[in-house]
Structure 1
Amino acid sequence: MFRKIHLPGRFALLFSFIAWFLIVSQLLRLCFFIWQYDEVSWNIINLLRTLLTGLMFDIGAVTYICLPAILYYVLLPNRWIGLWADKALVWFFTSLTIFILVFTFFAELTFWDEFKTRFNFIAVDYLIYTHEVVANINQSYPLPLLVGGVTIITAAMLFLFYKRRAFSKTFTHRASLAQRAVLLAGGVMIALVYTAFVTNNSAEWSSNRYNSEISKNGVYAFFAAFRNNQMKYNEFYTSIDNNKAFTIVRSKLVGSESEFTGGGFSIHRTITDSLPSGEKKNVVFILVESLSGSFMKEFGNQEHITPFLDSLAQKSVFFENLYATGTRTVRGMEAVTLCIPPTPGQSIVKRPENANLYTVNSVFKARGYDSNFFYGGDGYFDNMNAYFGGNGFTIYDRGRGSVLSDKIKTTRNNIDDNEVTFENAWGICDEDIFNKMLKVADRQYKDKLPFFNFVMTTSNHRPYSYPEGKIDIPSGTSRQGAVKYTDYALRDLFQKAKTKPWYKNTVFVIIADHCASSAGKDEIDVANYHIPAFIVNLPESDNKKIAQQCSQIDLFPTLFSLMHWNYESDFFGKNVLGSNYEERSLMGTYRKLVLMKQEKVMVLSDQKKQAFYTWNKKDNSLKPLPMDRSFLDEAISWYQTADYLFTNKLLK
């Protein structure tokens, strides 16, 4: 009986492939262990659990991968086994699958190098925007060599299977009905079990984030992220009564300068400055790609890669203790324009129903400003054009076309080739995008239009390439070079702007979108959310260094206060210089939501979990604390109310 259902034979190649996938997946896992040798837990129990958990996810991944092959082997009649069509199909799809998986294993290494994590929602986004990603890979890595290497490894694996007679057995053995039934039932049952009971979150068993990430399987994690990139707060996170949540948040937003004008589930209020409303100063807002605070000498860096920004910190309103809300550009955009905590899942910038929101541009538009969004790449990437166009900005980017969609009636202007001196995968260099903004600002001044110009830079991004001869670090060699070039481009912008007649009436605001890296062994790496921010060219008497702990969402409310503006607000951010400002910062990943107050850190996780820590700034470590219910309720309130207002279209 047992001999009749012995599976190899016709299925020899299938089982050889499964064994190959499991072995290579574990070798990759060990590679990540060695890569992060000083961060992972090498405790023998933790090591074994990491490998065994990983094996469990590898089995799930290879089962899904093999389901089409299982169906083919089960359904093909015995009389057709070994025919030329059978051989052609098996050889072709086996070769293609191995090639794709070998390429995927290499891609995991590069993804880990960039993000220190297995595939997640970022990888899903990158799959959508193939032009930018393929160009980035081509400019960052020797792509012909990579493809050649993948081809050689694929050929080697096929040759190994051939020498072990896996192909010959597959094409010469017949399969009994019992063997087919066992294979089909086993494959389907395993797939159903993983679909129903095994989530990617099951890998997150360790307090050491690296052990948890290494426990995952990249293919499995990718498709898990593909399915779950939007998360409803109440379904995934600990919640409290909405009345209580809004009461807590409103108590945090109350102030002598603000008056709530909406009741119940609303934070709408009127902000009134004690001084007469200020003049219409132009505002140039620059969101700098991946500008970690740790790059600046001001915060201890000794590489001298931000000389201009370090000098600017001494003659501006400089935020010393400000934290990004997230780890991606769209999170930074969301934070500075909506002044809202990071809701779980995708950024609002990428979600449906994100047009006609009450943003900082609503404040500018109410005062008659001409608002523009400048991006050196194609603003289709990450849905930027749809978001900014849908919220009142005129678009300047490297895309084509004048109207974004029938629903978004805004102008889209192309940055012409004759305006570009250097371009890489992500867009034109920072000097070029700044020069474009200067040209538009000249026109706005000529037309007597007060302007709000929002510029998103791209140069400080892999492949870290920029025009040669500008700085003393060769292009395309390091992140340090990209940072130093961005610093150079900002200096060049100010030198040119100072010659303009509109400069004396223009405020420049500079802030990072996020840090260059946000991964660490703890579930949230606090130090890697610390970013610099500057408000430049206000009256010299306003210049100061702000030591209060704050968030990206507080930047514009503070700017509006410094300009003595009265305005309507649906913002969660506050004026950091206000007498009743309470220090705190809000940050997160697409799944972790964090409230930090001084050194205390509350982390809300999906699966309705939470953890409370004290943060040691000296070594950037988190140590558990007993749960504080009032602190927990406040953390919940910030995120629950933000999610409620957007989901119920109350930010329109």
Structure 2
Amino acid sequence: MLLNFSLFKPFKYLLMYYLALNIALRSIFIFHPITTSSFTFLEICRIYSIGALNDFFIFICGYAFFGLYYLFLSNGKYARPWGPLIFGILLAFLIYISFFNTIFNDYGGSVPEIVQAFLAIKVVCFGLCLFFPSRRTAIRKAIYFSSLFLFSLLLVQNAISEYFFWNEFGLRFNFIAVDYLVYTNTVIGNILESYPVVPLFTTIGVLTLLLTIFIYKKTHKNLEQLMDFSSKVVAVFLYAILFTAALFTLPKLSQLENAPNVFTNEIQANGTYKFYQAFNQSELDYFQFFPVLPQQKMVALLRKDYPAYNGNSLLRSIHSDSTALKKNVVLLTIESLSADFMAYYGNEKQLTPFLDSLALQSLFFTNTYATGNRTVRGLEAVTLSIPPSPGESVVKRKDNKNKFSTATVFQKQGYQTKYLYGGDAYFDNMEEFFSNNHFDIVDKSDFKDDEITFKNIWGVCDEDMYTKAIQVMNSEYRSGVPFFNHIMTVSNHRPYTYPAGKIDIDPSSKSRDGGVKYTDYALRQFFKQARKQAWFDQTVFVIVSDHCASSAGKTELPLDKYRIPAMIYAPNFIAPQQYNTLMSQIDLMPTLLGLLRFNYTSKFYGQDVLQPSYSPRAFIATYQDMGYIKDNTLTILSPTKKVRQYSFQSQKPQEVKAALIQISNINQLQVDLATAYYQSLAQQLQSKQYQELP
């Protein structure tokens, strides 16, 4: 028989619904405050035309799930003997997964419960249709309405999720979204605490219900005239052609994300496909995707900074002419503290009065750049002292154990080493990384109930973390062994909630300014307590941000989104001073080790910036754009061996923003230097040359 195209009405209306959602989403992105860019008419046309193609083919892939449900609608499967047999198999399978250990239990979490719920619904629905044939059409319509609602809800929820992700990062889904899928409990908790979820979810539910009713009214009569077998064969054949075309076309369309304006590339893309790409590319092979130098040239370039470099590792001896100072060290890594939150860098809101005062009493590194835009990048930088690498941070990789780290150096000097974190250390793979690199871990699980005065989904408030840290350090001091403690804060993170009555910004406002100001307040309280302890005078404090509060910008790597405060504070030991020379986050700990006059064998890429041999440079990166800053030039290496270069004017130390001007005549020496650094690191990680010393 001829194919009845009226049976494809669900496909037509759901496709129109999905395309309309994405047109609205792209329009919102274009006018969103975080989108710091204007667009030409041609860019607008590009965004909507390529975007519509992306959406169409993604819908083809996603509709397969709903299409399968629609395909298997039939009356024949309820006839004897098939109906009772199928029902018995479904019931037996439900009993099996409910009362026995199955493969679904290996996934942990809620997976077994989700599968059980799905099968239970399937058994009930199949049984009703089997035993009440006169009500089969009505039951089928109820199931169809529910399926339409769930599929429509998924489309709306995905659009809402993309909006909130853009609101936070100014990007489509990427590695961060993949992480958020893994750490679902923490992320859902963050959403619940950050946004007005009741009106939000109510609006989503009402919108989805109205759209479902509309599509149902247009299509429900199809359930009274189901497709026969020959029609289903033709439908499957036609859909297979579209599905194959989608699998072939989507990678081609992603290659068109090559406009100079990053926002154009991001907005024209489809978030679902970006998520899929990120999920499959958590580690990018440097040698496949990025520029590569001949080995001899790479070694020659790096020998200017590391004379002993032999092409394998940077192994070298660090010597001091004086006796080592075995002072205690406390490294405070502050969550999301951009440089421009401080008054020194021009902020007039008085958000960090304590940190501003502390900077004047410290060795203050005013021109420091974070290596990345995620906490794990900052942890990698100060722990391993290496530039960023394409894909995930080493902290998140499988090969993250027994690396050459700060703990390696401190333990050889006789120190006890700990990582203290106010949240759950399993998040972002921190527990595995630090515990396998010679750090003992103190996290939220080590807090007694009476030690927690306030917490949110990310963990205990900074005050509680600092109080716990004081207890730990008092115990360490009594042991007579010097300590190196790395403390990671959590309060300056969405939802920006904190104890009431501490600062003059109401915590119910859930504002970033409130989070910053409370972070500064808690830091003041920590030092107020620390000064009373017996170990204070023999302790050096290192304060640095893990990354900036936002990384979105018109260019791939906007400099102001990587500028962070960094300082070393030790009264009666280190004289207050401003160090205005360009430096990287990876240089902070090697500089501290130099101040402590340690003799040690090093593999660090980071250098002691106070030494005359130091040549200023910095590294900044996303998960795929590798940046190198030197001599007022930013060089960016990207996948497909793409190279871009920008110049910027010399700035005063307190000036954060720098206008980047793209260079048409590229400085090849800068490109080669950037390549040498990133290539050598990729080589060392791949060949396991960055392991701890025997």
What TM-score comes out, normalization by structure 1 length? 0.92
Q: Please, which moves more after superposition, 323-332 or 174-183? A: 174-183
Please state how far the C-alpha of 1:517 moved relative to its aligned partner. Answer: 0.3
Please list, as runs of the form range in 1=range in 2, the aligned pairs for 1:431-446 lying within 5 A after superposition: 431-446=463-478
State the Cα distance separating 1:622 from its structure 2 match.
2.3
1:348 aligns to what? Answer: 394
Conservation of the 8 A alpha-carbon contact between 1:121 and 1:229: yes
Looking at structure 2, the residues matched to 380 and 37 of structure 1 have their Cα atoms a distance apart, in angstroms, of 31
Q: CA deviation at 1:85?
A: 6.1
Contact 2:331–2:485 (8 Å) recurs in 1:
yes
Looking at structure 1, the residues matched to 458 and 605 of structure 2 have their Cα atoms a distance apart, in angstroms, of: 32
Q: What does 1:140-155 correspond to in 2, within 5 Å? A: 140-155=194-209
Q: Cα distance, 1:75 vs. partner?
A: 5.2
Within-5 A mapping of 1:105-116 = 105-116=159-170
Is residue 2:546 matched to residue 1:513? yes
Name the counterpart of 2:27: 30
Q: Distance in 2 between matches of 1:109 and 1:194?
A: 25
* Counterpart pick for 1:426 among 458, 466, 490: 458
Equivalent residue, structure 1, for 2:621: 588
Q: Which moved more, 1:452-461 or 1:64-73?
A: 64-73
Please state how far the C-alpha of 1:631 moved relative to its aligned partner. Answer: 1.4
Partner residue of 1:216 out of 261, 266, 269: 269
CA offsets, 1:218-254, max 9 Å, x none?
2222222111121111111121223332332232223
CA contact (8 A) 2:405 2:437 kept: yes
Output the aligned Cα RMSD. Answer: 2.1
Give the drift of 1:379: 0.4
Q: Which moved more, 1:80-89 or 1:106-115?
A: 80-89
Q: Secondary structure at the match of 1:10?
A: helix
Aligned equivalent of 1:245, options 292, 298, 301: 298
Corresponding position of 2:101: none
Q: How far 1:182 moved relative to its partner?
A: 5.1
Give how far 1:101 is off: 2.0
Distance 1:146 1:191 in 2: 34
Structure 1 residues 67-82: aligned runs within 5 Å: 67-74=64-71, 76-77=73-74
Structure 1 residues 435, 512: closer, same or farther in 2, change over 3 A?
A: same
Contact 2:388/2:621 (8 A) holds in 1: yes
Moved more, 508-517 or 143-152: 143-152
Which runs of structure 2 are paired with 1:401-550 in the superposition (5 Å)?
414-477=446-509, 478-537=511-570, 539=572, 542-550=575-583
Amino acid at match of 2:28: C
TM-score (norm 2): 0.87
Q: Unaligned stretches of 5+ in structure 1?
A: 255-259, 400-413
Q: CA-to-partner distance for each residue in 1:533-572, whole Å, 9 max, x for gaps?
A: 0100154553211111010000011111111111111110
Query: What are the equivalent positions in structure 2 for 1:630-645 lying under 5 Å apart?
Result: 630-645=669-684
Return closer, same or farther for 1:110/1:22 CA change in 2, 3 Å cut-off.
same
Structure 2 counterparts to residues 113-512 of structure 1, below 5 A: 113-163=167-217, 165-168=218-221, 170-175=222-227, 180-181=232-233, 183-199=235-251, 201-254=254-307, 260=308, 263-273=310-320, 275-399=321-445, 414-477=446-509, 478-512=511-545
Q: 1:520 to 1:182 in 2, by over 3 A?
A: farther
Tell me if the contact between 2:73 and 2:226 (Cα under 8 Å) persists in the aligned partners: no
Measure, in 2, the Cα distance between the counterparts of 1:316 and 1:308: 12
* Distance in 1 (alpha carbons) for counterparts of 2:33 and 2:506: 28
Task: Report Cα offsets for 1:605-644 as digits up to 9, x if no partner.
Answer: 1122111111356763322211222211111111111111
Greater fraction of residues in helix: 2
| Residues 470-502 of structure 1, C-alpha deviations (whole Å, 9 max, x = no match) | 111111421111111111111111111111111
Task: Spell out the pairing of 1:94-105 with structure 2 (5 A cutoff).
Answer: 94-105=148-159
In the aligned structure 2, how far is the partner of 1:571 from the partner of 1:513? 18
Report SS of the residue matched to 1:613.
Answer: strand
Larger Rg: 2
2:639 to 583, 600, 606: 606
* Cα distance in 2, alignment partners of residues 549 and 193 from structure 1: 50
Partner deviation per Cα, 1:162-202 (whole Å, 9 max, x = no partner): 33x2222x313444667545543443334334434533743
CA distance in 1, matches of 2:453, 2:172: 36
What is aligned with 1:409? Answer: none
Contact 1:368 1:450 in 2 (8 A): yes
* 1:621 paired residue number: 659
Query: In structure 2, what residue type is equivalent to 1:620?
Result: A
Aligned partner of 1:91 among 122, 131, 145: 145
Q: Which moved more, 1:205-214 or 1:454-463?
A: 205-214
The answer on 1:567 being equivalent to 2:600 is yes
Q: Secondary structure at the match of 1:252?
A: coil
Q: Is 1:42 equivalent to 2:39 in the alignment? A: yes
Distance 1:182 1:534 in 2: 69
Unaligned residue ranges in structure 2 (runs of 5+): 79-135
Aligned to 1:402: none
CA positional deviation for 1:47? 0.4
SS at 1:253 equivalent: coil
- Which runs of at least 4 in structure 1 moved beyond 6 Å after TM superposition? none
CA distance in 2, matches of 1:288, 1:564: 26
Amino acid at match of 2:14: F
- Shift of the alpha carbon at 1:647? 1.8
